């Protein structure tokens, strides 16, 4: 099996796309592939390609198909293609499990994989691919736990001295779903037991929307979140359709780019998950902290200073705790219900955690051992104590 | 004089008459079992195209399914996993009484989930998908829609392997139910005019329109 995380997850997708899962004797190389927190490919097999590129301005990496099923790339005037074209032709496609979270949507241009470059239809998944979206998570997930008021320690926005983020780190964990998928992948490859069904936001389900405050349903007045963050120039990192010049093969992302910097032919429309009244994302796998929240969990942050001040601080999701009491939230003008109003007491919170955990367990997205540990963690916490 | 008398008689009659198209509750009257048409399209190798069963209270639609081969090849000739293809069961009526309102439940035994078997409405022959391919294994919702010439439901099994999907339609209603107080409040002229307007709409062709979707749930 091949497994990659973040950029190496993007490499995993590129590996498959290039047909490298077939060896010199035409045998399948990896029975399974697990790209993690990765939603695109890398710039390989192209002059000046930077396989470590993270899609900053004028970087290659989003060219060609980013999706698993054959689908037309209408917005870029390219033919119907998929990442699996080469391996499908040779019968060497692996079974694929992919999982990711909110930071990949906002920073890593991921939703093009889901809805194509026209962003107007859900691209189906083939039977050898499972997709799991963990809502309201930072890049790779947070440290977990049940802390209603984690230390407000500034987080660093990675890369290019982007500065610090305004919100404390998002604790929502991806560990539990990773545990499920590790076991599921093993069973799928070794004895053919199918993994749980895919779970991710979709246009059809109404959970994937335009990246505007109105479309998302993001309430105004949540402390620390100005409406200006939702402006297109501040919010989602978009895909640009570049003109790399006549020697560049736009269909396959190969050849020789000669236009530097390239002209931007179009901005590809992006989509983001819809949120609930608390600003927490709707759709994807059920998780305990999302379903029994202690605050608003974001897959993005806001850069506090420097060149990118006021813009999204990518990769590092934030958390905005709920007020403890109704009086607190009214004093702050916070539209979100307080912990007291939601859960009543510590026991009430533990009950909510138990319900959320049992829901995830019953649907196959949480292991029994993790379910038990989460409930114990909630019981031992100081929430409403 | 004679005309005025006729108008007066009509107005009086209108005071005591129900609107021309009273709402139909359940699969009764013009929507009773036996008035709908079930068709299957496409070819499912070694399998079934699906079934429909209906009572006065509930419609159950089961999608097509064929044998699963080891290589996950499609049993539907020309079918591709996840894409609405040739293999579909349709359940239709050409009697239109707008709006159509109903509760729906959809589930599947296909381990892939509901991305491989697609459920939705047929409005004037055009598919409107209700099932969420990324949602829970069992989904529910409520819809109210209007149609022009035909209305119904479909399940498209795409590759038609790994088990069939099942849709249930309950609390079906066609046509609008007047508010109880409205009858008393309406003046006779308005009553008569209202009936005439409804008859006119029924005879006009109209493009299908979707009203607000109501509460779909992916059973989070």
**DSSP per residue, B128-162:** EE-S-TTS-SEEEEEEEEE-SS-EEEEEE-TT--S
- B213–A206 CB contact, under 8 Å: yes
Q: Which of B80, B134, B162 to mutate to test binding with chain A, by most A CBs within 10 Å of its CB?
A: B134
Best of A126, A191, A193 to disrupt the B interface by mutation (most B CBs within 10 Å)? A126
CB of A69 within 8 Å of any CB in chain B? Answer: yes
Share of chain B above pLDDT 70, in %: 70
Residues of B in contact with A205 (CB under 8 A): 132-135, 216, 218
How, if at all, do strands A254-255 and A248-249 pair? Answer: antiparallel
With a CB cutoff of 8 Å and minimum separation 6, the contacts of A58 are A242, A260, A261, A262
CA distance A182 to A195: 10
Question: Average pLDDT, whole number, for chain A?
Answer: 95
Looking at the partner chain, which of A69, A198, A291 has a beta carbon nearest the beta carbon of B113?
A198
Reported residue count of chain A is 385
Q: Does A286 touch chain B (CB under 8 A)?
A: yes
Rounded to the nearest angstrom, the minimum Cα separation between A198 and chain B is: 6
B168's CB contacts (< 8 A; 6+ apart) are: B58, B59, B60, B61, B104, B105, B106
How far, CA to CA in Å, does B6 sit from each of B19, B190, B194? Answer: 19, 16, 18
Q: How far apart are CA B161 and CA B76, in angstroms?
A: 8
Q: pLDDT category, B220, cuts 50, 70, 90?
A: very low
Shortest distance between the Cα of B130 and any Cα of chain A, in A, equals: 7
Residue among A133, A206, A291 whose CB faces B216 most closely: A206
pLDDT the model gives residue A143? 95
Q: Do A197 and B111 touch (CB under 8 A)?
A: yes
Answer whether A14 touches B (CB < 8 Å).
no
Distance of CA B183 to the CA centre of its chain: 28
| B105 within 8 A of B60, measured Cβ to Cβ | no
What is residue A50's predicted lDDT score, i.e. its pLDDT? 85
Over the stretch A145-201, which tens digit does the pLDDT of each residue have? 999 999 999 898 886 657 899 999 999 999 999 999 999 999 999 999 999 999 999
Q: Which of A31, A202, A268 is nearest to B130 (CA)?
A: A202
Average pLDDT, chain B: 80
pLDDT the model gives residue A161? 54
What's the CA gap between A214 and A3, in Å, rounded? 38
Q: Please report the DSSP string for A307-351 in residue order.
A: TTTTSEETT--EEEEPPSSHHHHHHHT--SPPHHHHHSSHHHHHH
A271, A209 Cβ separation under 8 angstroms: yes
Alpha-carbon distance A92 to nearest alpha carbon in chain B (angstroms)? 12
Selecting from A126, A205, A359 the residue whose C-beta is nearest the C-beta of B132 gives A205
Q: Which token pair is A364?
A: 């196959």
The DSSP call for residue A279 is: S
**Nearest-CB residue to B112 (from A127, A205, A282):** A127
CA torsion angle A180 A22 A129 A60 (round to 10): 100
pTM of the model as a whole: 0.90
Q: Does residue B178 sit in helix, strand or coil?
A: coil
The two structure tokens encoding residue B180: 């109880």
Contact B114 A197 (CB under 8 A): yes
pLDDT confidence of residue A205:
97
Cβ pair A197:B131 closer than 8 A: no
Inform me whether the C-beta atom of residue B88 falls under 8 Å from chain A C-beta atoms: no
How far is CA A157 from each of CA A230, A280, A364, B128, rounded to the nearest angstrom? 18, 21, 34, 43
Which burial class, exposed, middle or buried, applies to A115 when counting CB atoms under 10 A from its CB (0-12, 13-18, 19+)?
A: buried
Cβ-nearest to B134 among A128, A194, A198: A198
Contact residues, chain B, for A195 at CB < 8 Å: 111
Task: Transcribe B18-86 into DSSP letters.
Answer: PPSS--EESS-GGGSTTSSEEEEES-BTTSEEEEEEE-SSEEEEEEEE-PPPTT---SBTT-BTTB--S
Interchain proximity A197–B81, CB inside 8 Å:
no
pLDDT higher at A223 or B193: A223
- Residues 130 to 159 of A: which have CB under 8 A from any B CB? 131, 133
Q: Predicted confidence band at B2 (pLDDT cuts at 50, 70, 90)?
A: very low
Confidence band, pLDDT 50/70/90 cuts, at residue B111: confident
Q: At what angle do helices A175-191 and A368-380 cross, to 10 degrees?
A: 170
Q: Is B163 on the interface with A (CB under 8 A)?
A: no
The partner residue sitting opposite A204, judged by closest CB among B81, B116, B133, is B133
Q: How far is B112 from chain A (nearest CA, A)?
A: 5
Q: Are B132 and A125 in contact (CB < 8 Å)?
A: no
> Is a pLDDT exceeding 50 seen at residue A60?
yes
A159-169 burial code (b ≥16 CB/10 A, e <16): eeebbbbbbbb
Contact B72 A122 (CB under 8 A): no
Which H or E element spans position A27?
A: none
């Amino acid at each position: 099996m091949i497994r990659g995380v973040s950029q190496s997850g993007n490499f995993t997708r590129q590996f498959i796309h290039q047909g490298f899962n077939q060896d010199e004797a035409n045998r399948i190389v990896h029975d399974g592939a697990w790209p993690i927190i990765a939603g695109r490919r890398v710039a390989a097999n192209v002059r000046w390609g930077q396989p470590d590129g993270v899609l900053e301005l004028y970087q290659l990496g989003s060219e060609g198909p980013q999706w698993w099923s054959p689908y037309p790339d209408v917005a870029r005037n390219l033919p119907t293609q998929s990442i699996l074209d080469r391996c499908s032709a040779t019968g060497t496609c692996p079974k694929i499990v992919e999982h990711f979270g909110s930071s990949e949507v906002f920073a890593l241009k991921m939703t093009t994989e889901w809805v194509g470059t026209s962003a107007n239809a859900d691209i189906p998944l083939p039977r050898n691919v499972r997709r799991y979206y963990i809502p309201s998570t930072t890049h790779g997930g947070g440290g977990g736990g049940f802390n209603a008021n984690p230390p407000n320690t500034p987080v660093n926005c990675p890369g290019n001295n982007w500065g610090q983020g305004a919100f404390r780190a998002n604790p929502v964990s991806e560990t539990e779903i990773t545990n499920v998928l590790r076991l599921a992948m093993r069973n799928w490859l070794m004895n053919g037991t199918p993994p749980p069904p895919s779970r991710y936001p979709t246009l059809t389900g109404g959970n994937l929307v335009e990246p505007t405050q109105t479309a998302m349903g993001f309430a105004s007045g949540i402390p620390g979140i100005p409406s200006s963050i939702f402006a297109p120039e501040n919010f989602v990192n978009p895909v640009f359709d570049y003109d790399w010049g006549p020697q560049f093969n736009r269909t396959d992302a190969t050849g020789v780019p000669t236009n530097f910097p390239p002209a931007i032919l179009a901005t590809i429309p992006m989509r983001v998950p819809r949120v609930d009244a608390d600003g927490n994302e709707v759709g994807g796998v059920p998780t305990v902290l999302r379903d029994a929240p202690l605050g608003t969990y974001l897959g993005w942050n806001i850069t506090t200073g420097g060149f990118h001040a006021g813009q999204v601080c990518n990769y590092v999701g934030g958390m905005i705790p709920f007020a403890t009491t109704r009086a607190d939230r009214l004093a702050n003008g916070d539209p979100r219900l307080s912990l007291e109003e939601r859960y009543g007491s510590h026991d009430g919170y533990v009950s909510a955690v138990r319900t959320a955990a049992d829901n995830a367990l019953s649907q196959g997205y949480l292991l029994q051992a993790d379910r038990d540990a989460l409930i114990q963690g909630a019981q031992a916490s100081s929430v409403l104590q | 004089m004679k005309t005025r008398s006729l108008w007066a008689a009509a107005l009086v009659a209108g005071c005591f008459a129900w609107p021309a198209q009273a709402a139909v509750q359940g699969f009764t009257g013009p929507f009773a079992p036996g008035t709908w048409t079930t068709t299957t399209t496409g070819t499912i190798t070694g399998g079934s195209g699906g079934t429909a069963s209906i009572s006065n209270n509930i419609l159950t639609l089961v999608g097509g399914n064929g044998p699963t081969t080891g290589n996950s090849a499609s049993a539907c000739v020309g079918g591709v996993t996840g894409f609405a293809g040739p293999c579909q069961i349709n359940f239709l009526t050409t009697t239109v009484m707008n709006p159509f309102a109903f509760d729906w439940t959809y589930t599947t035994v296909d381990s892939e989930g509901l991305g491989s078997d697609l459920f939705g409405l047929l409005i004037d022959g055009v598919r409107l998908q209700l099932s969420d391919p990324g949602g829970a294994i069992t989904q529910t919702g409520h819809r109210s829609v209007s149609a022009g010439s035909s209305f119904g439901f479909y399940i498209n099994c795409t590759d038609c392997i790994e088990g069939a999907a099942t849709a249930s339609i309950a609390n079906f209603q066609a046509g609008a139910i007047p508010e109880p107080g409205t009858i008393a409040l309406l003046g006779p002229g308005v009553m008569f005019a209202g009936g005439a307007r409804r008859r006119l709409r029924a005879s006009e062709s109209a493009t299908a329109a979707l009203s607000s979707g109501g509460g779909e749930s992916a059973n989070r």
